[in-house]
Structure 1
Amino acid sequence: MSDFPARARASEIPVVTPLSYTDPLGNPFLRTRFALPARPRTYLRRRRLADHLDQAFNTPLTLLNGPAGAGKTLLAAEWASGQSPPVAWLSFDGGDHRPGVFWAYVLQALRACGAPPSEAVGTPVNASRVSRRILSTLASELNDRDGPVLLVLDEYDRVTDTKIAEQLEFVLHHAGRGLRLVLITRTEPLLPLHRYRAVGELTEIRSAELAFTPEEAAALLELHGVSVPVQAARNLVDRTRGWAAGLSLSALAARESPDPELYLKEFEADRSTVADFLLAEVLKRQTRETQDLLLRVSVLDRFCPDLANALTHRIDAEPLLADLHRENAFVERLGHSWYQLHPLFREILRAHLRVRLPGLEPELHRRAARWLRRHGHLPETLAHSAAADDWDLAAGALVDDLAIGRLFTGPNSHDLAQLFSHMGPEARSPATDLVRAAHDLSHHDLDHGLASLRHAEEQLADDDRDLAAARLSCALLEALAARLTGCPPQVEKAAETAAELRQEVPAHLLDKHPELTALLLTHVGSTLLWAGRFEDARAVLNTVADAPGGPATEAPREEAMGHLALLDYLNGWTGRAERRALAAVSETDRPGPPRTTGSGIGRMVLAAVAVDRDELDRAQALLDQTAGLPSGTRDPVTAAGHAFASARLLMARGKMRAAVEAADPAVPAAVASPWATSQEALVTSAAHLAGGRPDRAAEVLRAVSGDQPVCAVEAASIQLAARRTGAALDLLDSIHAEERTGPAVSVRAALVRARAADGAGDTATVRRLLTQALLDARRERLRRPFLDAGAWIRPHLATAPLHDLAAGWLTPAPALPRGRPGPPSPPPPPLVVVELSAREHDVLERVARMMSTEEIAADLCLSVNTVKTHLKSVYRKLAVNRRGEAVRRARDLRML
């Protein structure tokens, strides 16, 4: 509760004592030092700060501590002007602040506000000292007052005499409730703040609280005649850290601009009035040594004393930085002895550095990079090496840290690739060649990538130093090159070399960079998959997919899951393939630039599954989403996956010629892929059969064997359609009946055998095989095999109980009879896909009720943007693009 009445009546306001005294030096008191500063027309009253200042009535000491231009003085003046108790205001300047002069001015400030000390207090007569009697008597009189006096000392940081601090603390302590002291300062006052803080007798308002919020900044700009959206104000606050002077000066300049919003977004701090203010109020107040330190550390985003010393070649950074922080000189403490400059101050100092010390900036970046590299700060090492145009240093740091995999994966891979894109051809070291090779191979430029890789390997072979990290980086790139050329022997050799080199590399580097092993194994698994070594590929890829998660291994995990989905599809497990593909899509659908190698395999598998289920529009939409893949991609598995998914869709739509053209992946490889070759042969054979050329169709199928189960049963179907029953059954018999083959194999095989039995007139066998096929297909919703079976199947599906097994899911299908429909069969068991969060499920339920985005937001008490974010996540997880598709898909999966 306040010690003062709410507001004094005008008749109760004391008459101000005339200022007719002189200070101990005989100089007249300067009246302006006792006057409350006038607030400009553009001053913005901030209620939250005024409310906080009201607590000054309840504590002996209040501290307003912030940098120059933070708005401390105007805040205190506006607040003090509204108070009814005596408010003694005293501003300090660059004059004489010895104890006698200080206390003479304090006493005169008390007289000026109508709370004059008695004659018993007396007046200091010596500028350098003040008697204890004066201080004791003053404290005693203040303590005896009915109500306290509010004493505001502005720019108290100019008072540096420790004796004054001791005397002020003495008076404050013994004045009791008769004095409330408010200090406005840029520095920490020499008072025992910890004691006041410990007993709750200190009110503090510091820089963070003084900073303007975006809403306050927008209001301040409006007072200056500059009207901008809150977002533009928020951007300005981010740049100025809410610094009051910076906002006001920027507003004044923006007012003269034809496009204020653009000016506030792009203004050059070093050529503005902000620069004049900071240079005059902050930089020029410092000693020559401190100015040199500030100019040099301006090239850094953050720094510690040891790093600052490395840039100055001195050893005094620690006390200088501590003083700058204490003085609120726009040097901010980050913790653990690290600091940063205020963003605007850093911009201005950096420009000033180029004028004061031209040509020094690259050398400062180089010194910083070397220090940061020694102390294990890789990202900053790379940034400063690039700024110094020292690419040997940058690439060497990347390779020595075993971080070359970060060019391919991780949240900063795109930024890292952008950084090295500025590296010129003049940088010629093994490390720079490795970085070039990584860049080119990641963009599937084999010619240039292999040339750089070979050059690096030649230089490393002639180097006797321990360069295990560089050689392990070579092994990773060799594995990638082997993957892009489809060469299993080369990838296995690279893996063996990497296994040996791992024993020579420090364990902490391997633990620090799990992405290198994950990338290497992904390249091995992809190459083995291309070669048709499915089980070997699955074992390697499972190691990557099951590895602990983390941003650094997101890309290889996504690729591994996409490849495993393809393996499941090629073995006939469409449901399992869909689940893995959805997981891969969920991994890759995250903020950041799209990757090239391996991306899109998940959607290709989903598209192929959609074709098997006769969801052709969905398949087309999924393939359209892969259109962003780089043209002419040389990754064999990706190219072959896109080729067979596209060809299958075209065949389902009856576009046989286009399907044949799409089936060729057109990627040269050292080893032919049995499954890719078989898929291409199937499309070509089907086109010949559709064109009335059964002999040519059968000839093309010679390359297909039982080692590729899905391909073998489709080839058997074509052979049977070409009236080669014996060849068809031989193909089916050649398939190894193992657990690794799924429903897509068993369903198609049953249909082929059923057709052969139909030709032989064995109706019982036909119906037995069709019953089993329908049961297996219903679980996976495999419609396409029945639609492609031909006219022979229609009479059989029209009979009970086959009609009942087909009803409810094998629709629309022309093979089904139009007679009396039987009772619908039970819905198929739900397929487990990526789980929706509770909130996503809430949103999806309301979408199903035809609620708009705004209605959903209101119903769930969410923002519209949050609802949109949840919808995007639902679309991604269900692999759809629209609301209706999401609802239908969720109902199919029994999620609604």
Structure 2
Amino acid sequence: MNLSQGAEPPPALPAPPALPGPTGQGTAWVARTRLLARLSAAARTPVVLVSAPAGSGKSTLLHQWSHLDGRACVTVSATSWLDDPARLARALVDAFERIGPPGSDPRAGVTAQEPGWATVVLPGLARLAVTRLCDFVLVVDDVHLLQAAACHEALAAVADAVPEGSQVVLATREEAPRYLARARAAGRLLEIEPDDLAFDLEEAAALFAGLAVTLSDEELAETVERAEGWAVGLYLHALSMRGHGTGGPRDGGPSRRGRDGFVFDYIGTQVLDGLDPRTRHFLTRTAPLEELRPAVCDAILDRQDSVAVLPGLCESLQLVIPVDDSGRRFRYHHLLRDALLSELTRESPAELDDLHRRAARWFAEAGDLDQAVRHARAARDHRLLADVLWPALPDCLTSGSLDRLAGWLRGISDHDLQQEPRLTAAAAWLALQQGDAERMDRWILHAERLAGIHWRDLARTDEVTAALACAEAVVGRGGLADSIALSEAALAGLPPDSGFRSAAAFVRGVCLTLQRDLPAGLEGLRTAEGLARALGQPLLVADSLSWQGLLALASGDQRRGTELVLEARSLIGDHHLERLATSAHCVTALALVLALNHDPSAARVLGTARRLTAGTDGIAPWFAVCGRLVQARAAVALADGSLARRLIGEAKVHLTADLRDTLVSDFLAEAQQALTMLSVDGVSAATLSPAEIRVLQFLPSHLTIPQIGEHLCLSPHTVKSHTLAIYRKLGVSSRDEAVERAQRLGLVEGPPRD
């Protein structure tokens, strides 16, 4: 389509036969025959590294290979957004599942937090690599954009595990990552380097012929020598020669040594300068978008013709590349996009920020929150970021998407988070759900400071302050009566559709039942359950069901209690919520039900409940006591008096004056009475202290004793002492044996199961 206004359209730019990156338009590529033959000959080599500077033809080579190779081929294109361990891991899981077979939603187990990253995610990626139904080629392009060390741990896990007959291919502008040294030493690595990718005379001749540029043999050899075979340099030089006539500019062509500045200059003079102003404006103002869709292009440019413009650009400007066959999704070649962004940043940085803002609003309305957050952060607009993030916050907190929320906030300084009340509240809730009491306290104090000295009164009328009140009610440092008052203030101040309402109703219901007001408490729990179901919050539905189930068990109605708790278990399992700190409540109730029903998995579930509870100390004092007492009842049902006695002792340590004359005292009396009636009192491997359980979580990882100490803020000597105590109590003599024994007991999270 002619984008000019009353002017003759510029001539269509020629197709680049050797452009680094497929155009998808039937372009007569220069076939990289010798390299394709080399790749085919090394089809049994599990790891391939293609490392070369920008514009060397890495992506084109791999695209040609994918069309010739008969195996299933999937590509993961790295971006700055994927420079996050959890996001990259999910992208790799998606790639493996496209190859098949699909699993039981392994994405739900993805977390960037230690120890889960090392003990669950990395083994899970390795397992996916070796359990595909067919031989495959997994291409990870633009690996140089991944700077996070954990991202490379994920790639290393896949590279080490890929079986013979399949291959993982890493394409990067940088030197070989250090972790590939193992593959190199074992003869499992094929390396294709810049000199390998350099065009020879035959390939360069094909390129120039495809662009209808005629050179003598001497001119061709001189041009190739000066360009050092650099693919994009030869292509752009050919474009220049078309403008200057046969023989080209007198400098003899581009040199690879000054590639970055040269590429920008050449794209500016040989590509952009030949376009009419309206087309150039479209290109530069859509460059902030990683993917071009007509609707978002229209939105940020305030126009209505992008649906026709983009295909036209794809035909005339071969640096515009289709993402799929729909004809509605495109991207700019990275060299073109870099040049466009450089021009826009230099000429109009304020407009660049405004384009990001418009894109953020469009993606937010379209429901693509990850892209909305990316653009809001690129605009450095924290108020807009809060506008995007705040409505999705309750869902992230109650649906197992903590790593998504953590990724949205990662990299924003504490100072910037403290300037926006909604971001401060989000950081506080994130820490609460992760079980990080120290960070939670710090962010709650910041939120109180922002809300002002009268924040409790303000909570009844202001949504953000009401969410703070809800968090304070969950934490419960002021006692049961204070939690009830805060919950009621939150319910008054939150909008009807706020996801925090169900949390406030749940805390109110629990606290009322603990104060022995069972009718009002049960009504509050059913209200919380109904709200959570309506708002699609499975964790809060499960929490409400579990507490109702425990109350039914306490009243002697074991059948009804079992039904409620098992329904909660289904929700936790179906939505993969086991890793959330607040799921400790549901898992604890499940452990008791299984133990009372003599289920063989009860001991393992009890171990899991203990592990989760150890991570929630400092949050919700009522659960620190009630959770351990319920677990003690489960231990008694399993005839494990030693563990029951320890749990009762831990519960007494957490028992506050506020809880002494409440339903908690009944739980304590029942647990103690059950213990006195137990005749079997053997020694249990599960009598680990909370501190030892926290250390135990890191033993399956690759971390050393000093590194574990850094994560837990403990000295290496303390970690070593806890480790030796773990060995003694588990009856083992090595780290591997301790991990194996602990996984059987449910005390540590094991790798994914088949």
Higher relative contact order (CA 8 A, sep 6+): 2
TM-score normalised to structure 2 length: 0.50
TM-score normalised to structure 1 length: 0.43
Q: Which has the larger radius of gyration?
A: 1
